[in-house]
Amino acid sequence: LASLQKKNATCSSSNDGDLQVVVQDGAAPFVYSWSNGANTSAAQNLAAGKYSVTIKDANGNVLTLSEEITSLPPINITGAVLNPACSGAVNGSIDVTATGGTGTYTYAWSNGSTDQDLTGVASGVYTVKVTDAAGCFAEKTFALTNGALIAVQSSLRHPDCTQNNGAIDITPTTGVSPYTYLWSNGATTQDLQNVGAGNHSVKVTDALGCSVDKTF
């Protein structure tokens, strides 16, 4: 006659459970054969799962016992990512939700933040470590990428000699409309008309506040 005493694993990823055979009746010495290969009266460093042991005493009596090591449910991390609007912008965010484990969570981000969510961040790779009240943890990595850069197509009409009859026709091909324009001569039209020879610059800004500078 025998029974099993158990200590469950702390976390779903830990191997700190154990099972101990307690013999109430039988003739020593006893021979133990565990399903995980152990051959002592105790099986240690066990992860969550089902285990069995066969016990044989000196008189040839055989008994098989089974038990399951359990653990806290694993911590699962999900996140909703909002990418930065454009290159260099710091308006990206990661909204994180954690489930599983036990008790309240703490958060540790690779950029040093201890908030649950990240806001006002640039493009890049960010990893969060979520730890529960029992000390169990999980990690997840998120990548933020820039939104599309503003590309501009252009067509130039060069001025005649000493004349101010040149023109610059531009068309934004990426970004989010509507666009605004600010030329180096103060014009706010999309295209520039009746200009002379020289360098002419424009800042094109889209509806998200992303901008690009071009010089013709």
The string of pLDDT tens digits covering residues 72-102 is 999 999 999 998 878 777 889 999 999 999 9
pLDDT band at 103 (very low <50, low <70, confident <90, very high): very high
Query: The tokens 């001569």 sit on which residue?
Result: 185
Report the candidate in 125, 117, 118, 123 with the shortest Cα–Cα distance to residue 85. 123
The string of pLDDT tens digits covering residues 176-206 is 889 999 999 999 999 999 999 999 999 998 8
Q: What average pLDDT is seen over the chain? A: 93
User: Which pair of tokens denotes residue 151?
Assistant: 């590309």
Report the candidate in 87, 88, 93 with the shortest Cα–Cα distance to residue 120. 93
pLDDT band at 148 (very low <50, low <70, confident <90, very high): low
Residues β-bridged to residue 33? 54
Q: Is the pLDDT of residue 123 over 90?
A: no
With beta carbons less than 8 A apart as the criterion, state whether 53 and 44 touch: no
